[in-house]
Amino acid sequence: MVISHSVGFPRIGANREMKKAVEAYWKGQTSQEELIKAGRKIRETNWQTQANAGLDLVSVGDFAWYDHILNWSATLGVVPPRFKVQGAETDLDTIFRMGRGRAPVGESTAACEMTKWFDTNYHYITPEVQAKQQFAFSYHAIIDETREALNAGYQVKPIIPGPMTYLWLAKSKTEDFNKLSLLGNLLEVYLEVLQKLQSLGVEWVQLDEPILCLDLPSVWKAQFVLAYEKLKIEGLKVMIATYFGKLEDNLETALDLSVEGVHVDAIRGQSELKVIAEKVSPDKVLSVGIVNGRNIWKNDLNSSLATLKEVQNLHKGQLWISSSCSLLHSPVDLDSEKKLDDEIKSWLAFAKQKCVEIASLAKKLKGDSSQQVEQVFQENAQAIQSRKHSSRVHKDSVKQRVSQIDESMFTRKSDYAVRAEVQKQALNLPEFPTTTLGSFPQTAEIRKQRRAFKDHKISEADYAHFMKKEIQLVVQKQEGYDLDVLVHGEPERNDMVEYFGELLDGFAFTQYGWVQSYGSRCVKPPIIYGDVQRPNPMTTEWSKYAQSLTKRPMKGMLTGALTILCWSFPRDDMERSEICMQIALALRDEVQDLEKSEITVIQIDEPAFREGLPLRKSDWQSYLDWAVKSFRLSASVVEDSTQIHTHMCYSEFNDVIESIAAMDADVITIETSRSDMELLDAFEHFSYPNEIGPGVYDIHSPNVPTVQWMVDLMRKAASRVPAKRLWVNPDCGLKTRGWEETDAALVNMVDAAKQLRQEGLV
């Protein structure tokens, strides 16, 4: 028997119902009751979608109002005391406080840390544990939702984060201890939850253990085995889900765990699929994740079918067919797209369509030759062919330009030391120069105007007039705060990647292709379907205009090639490195045009630099090489006097600091405030050679930082980096903030810089 299932379904809803419901609740516009009702509806729709697609099992536990790891922390009672209401139970509001950094009384407290989910652009709330952490079953959504699905008549497979992965992701804010010491007590709560699920009549539960695709210390491997020996409930079967890579040295561990099934990522782990099929015991279920959960391309069904048949020959036990990983990373429903070009649309599959692919593969494998299945296969074969040969995909001139890149194009005219002197003369900035990272609050009015222009409801002239007014406002404001290097505020940009994608050839856009990024925030990644080139300058007009309004330097603002690549859905018929070089060349032309327009400071954002890092150390160097090269290719075209900035956020840099230095930006601004400058620990062993602006306040929270707080953080920074190479800035763009808090925060920030100048740290 072949069973079809997904490793998880997106929770946002085809129309971002989740976002709308939760934000209305946060604003106090709706009651908790209404919120709960909205959640039930989203889940019901998701189950229906999976069942209609023909999947044998529907997933439960993949729904969350903020983040599934945060939900799980609440379930396990991992709630730091600062979020607790004395004597009250852990509820939805507790979860929101943890995600959003709110105290039960008073307004604010430090939010829990947020971390990128493996190498995706999803962010989870880091579980905060202590050495004496006690776990207790404290929040029951997983049980309630399972019951909900069962009552609605579905075949249900609850999904929960596996104990090893959960512990691996957990962090202590204050102490260093062996997290594995918590495992015993943790497993007790798992057993309690599993027992409850079993007693509801659940047959299979999926425990996600993606860390089996990481480099694991041997003691973790050993504990893996022990943990799963303990996690046994009579009558309940466990499917371990591994994804995001190959198992490699964890292969034996994963296959030998005392569980009833193992799921593998057959996209990234394609090369070891046969070995796995041979090795896995015939009394175990092998779930093959053959439909890519991380892209939007149609699966080549015939080729997948061939692979699955091979697997079937090698593995004598039961076979399940699935997505490589959760479909959380894919948009919800291609059918919603009404404006997408027909040809391109025919090449795509979103979560709902991927479920049909999974189900169709399973049916075909079972020998189903109904017309319905045949038709799916036929249409699929046509689409695969059309994409392979389309002239919209392949442009010789672009491929040729990439092949002609030579070494000299990767290097600035002089070294940093020389450039720094030239720039000092040219820019004449004070010590501890202040700046922001690009965007200013994007008000409802700004969004309305952008939309109106997009929908052809206002003229280009009216649109430009409005945007220029906005630019005037932010320039005036920045002069008022007395910032040193200004920005134009990016009012014309909906999103830092989409904006550039729309102006480049080779990109396509969806109307509803949203993917959750963190909490209620979603992104709509562009689709890179073909060779990339820049038909026209993209930012120079706005930057020139902004510069004309002030004597202070105006930063040009670009999104780096790597980030554009990482935050798009890339084509899967070309190496990532090559796509990246194509984009980098287009940006190089833009950098040159900005310089020609007398923009003397240019920031190239690369917030995705670390996220692009492969999960396995052995793959790092080759990635870092081309990642750094792509940045240098874009940046190195300028004169010494032009100052190149880069910006990165939400990352741990310690392990890539040398590559970041190798990017050779004159100034880097980075995220640090949420982690109390922890990030700067990297500099104890490596002295970053150029200038650096460690973000002094967390723009992801509405809290206004005090002058003292920022001065203290900068002092900390000055103890690690020579003060004369420090900048003062927030840790990211301000577009999600309101004006009131932005005004207050930036006034304080400039005050902090002035105080630092007086202290004579330099």
CB of 567 to ligand GLN, least distance (A): 9
CB of 649 to Zn ion, least distance (A): 3
705 binding partner (options ligand GLN, Zn ion, none; Cβ < 5 to 8 Å by kind) = none
750 binding partner (options Zn ion, ligand GLN, none; Cβ < 5 to 8 Å by kind) = none
- Which residues are the active-site residues? 700
241 binding partner (options Zn ion, ligand GLN, none; Cβ < 5 to 8 Å by kind) = none
Residue whose CB is less far from Zn ion, 148 or 611: 611
> 539 near 557, Cβ under 8 Å?
yes
Residue whose CB is less far from ligand GLN, 438 or 705: 438
624 binding partner (options ligand GLN, Zn ion, none; Cβ < 5 to 8 Å by kind) = none
- Does 649 bind ligand GLN (CB under 6 A)? Our answer is yes
Whose tokens are 């889940």? That residue is 43
Whole-Å CA distances, 278 to 254, 257, 284, 421: 14, 16, 12, 63
Residue whose CB is less far from ligand GLN, 323 or 651: 651
Residue whose CB is less far from Zn ion, 116 or 263: 116
**Residues shown for the chain:** 762
Closest by CA to 384, choosing from 528, 572, 567, 578, is: 572
- Does 692 bind ligand GLN (CB under 6 A)? Our answer is no
Residue whose CB is less far from ligand GLN, 127 or 612: 612
- Does 730 bind Zn ion (CB under 5 A)? Our answer is no
- Does 491 bind ligand GLN (CB under 6 A)? Our answer is no
663 binding partner (options ligand GLN, Zn ion, none; Cβ < 5 to 8 Å by kind) = none
Helix (H, G, I), strand (E, B) or coil at 581: helix
- Does 437 bind ligand GLN (CB under 6 A)? Our answer is yes
- Does 566 bind Zn ion (CB under 5 A)? Our answer is no
735 binding partner (options Zn ion, ligand GLN, none; Cβ < 5 to 8 Å by kind) = ligand GLN
Interacting span for ligand GLN (CB under 6 A) from 132-140, 192-200, 284-292, 434-442: 434-442
Q: Which residue in 327, 587, 649, 711 binds Zn ion (CB under 5 A)?
A: 649
For residue 368, report the phi and psi dihedrals to the nearest 5 degrees. Answer: -70, 120
Segment 50-69, which members bind ligand GLN (CB under 6 A)?
A: none
CB of 488 to ligand GLN, least distance (A): 10
Whose tokens are 């000055």? That residue is 718
- Does 732 bind Zn ion (CB under 5 A)? Our answer is yes
Give ∠ CA 476-478-482 in degrees, rounded to 5.
115
> 357 near 398, Cβ under 8 Å?
no
Interacting span for ligand GLN (CB under 6 A) from 127-135, 211-219, 387-395, 431-439: 431-439
Beta pairing class for 123-125 and 114-116: antiparallel
Q: Which residue in 54, 161, 433, 607 binds ligand GLN (CB under 6 A)?
A: 607
Q: Which residue in 245, 519, 526, 733 binds ligand GLN (CB under 6 A)?
A: 733
- Does 438 bind ligand GLN (CB under 6 A)? Our answer is yes
Interacting span for ligand GLN (CB under 6 A) from 97-105, 232-240, 635-643, 727-735: 727-735
| CA pair distance 725, 680, nearest whole angstrom | 14
Residue nearest to ligand GLN (CB): 733
- Does 293 bind Zn ion (CB under 5 A)? Our answer is no
- Does 423 bind ligand GLN (CB under 6 A)? Our answer is no
| CA pair distance 187, 202, nearest whole angstrom | 19
Beta strands in 349-419, from DSSP E residues, in sequence order = none
CB of 334 to Zn ion, least distance (A): 30
496 binding partner (options ligand GLN, Zn ion, none; Cβ < 5 to 8 Å by kind) = ligand GLN
Segment 494-513, which members bind ligand GLN (CB under 6 A)?
A: 496
Element (H, E) at 445: helix 444-454
- Does 519 bind ligand GLN (CB under 6 A)? Our answer is no
Q: Which residue in 123, 588, 735, 737 binds ligand GLN (CB under 6 A)?
A: 735
Residue 442 neighbours by CB under 8 Å, 6+ apart = 491, 735, 736
- Does 732 bind ligand GLN (CB under 6 A)? Our answer is yes
Closest by CA to 5, choosing from 347, 313, 293, is: 293
Interacting span for Zn ion (CB under 5 A) from 59-67, 581-589, 593-601, 731-739: 731-739
Q: Which residues of 524-562 are buried (b: 16+ CB within 10 A; e: fewer)?
A: bbbbbbbbbbbeebbbbebbbbbbebeebbbbbbbbbbb
Sign of CA pseudo-dihedral 511, 516, 519, 522: negative
439 binding partner (options ligand GLN, Zn ion, none; Cβ < 5 to 8 Å by kind) = ligand GLN
Helix (H, G, I), strand (E, B) or coil at 365: helix
- Does 558 bind Zn ion (CB under 5 A)? Our answer is no
Residue whose CB is less far from Zn ion, 526 or 607: 607
Interacting span for ligand GLN (CB under 6 A) from 41-49, 64-72, 437-445, 741-749: 437-445
| CA pair distance 112, 126, nearest whole angstrom | 7
Residue 265 has which token pair?
A: 């990522």
- Surface-to-core class of residue 106, CB atoms within 10 Å of its CB (0-12 exposed, 13-18 middle, 19+ buried): exposed
Closest by CA to 311, choosing from 268, 345, 266, is: 266
> 513 near 525, Cβ under 8 Å?
yes
| CA pair distance 10, 43, nearest whole angstrom | 10
745 binding partner (options Zn ion, ligand GLN, none; Cβ < 5 to 8 Å by kind) = none
Q: Which residue in 145, 148, 590, 605 binds ligand GLN (CB under 6 A)?
A: 605
For residue 688, report the phi and psi dihedrals to the nearest 5 degrees. Answer: -60, 125
Whose tokens are 């004006």? That residue is 739
CA dihedral 225, 228, 234, 236 (to 10 degrees): -120
- Does 604 bind Zn ion (CB under 5 A)? Our answer is no
Helix axes 460-481, 444-454, angle to 10 degrees: 150
Residues that bind ligand GLN (CB under 6 A): 437-439, 490, 496, 557, 605, 607, 647, 649, 732-733, 735
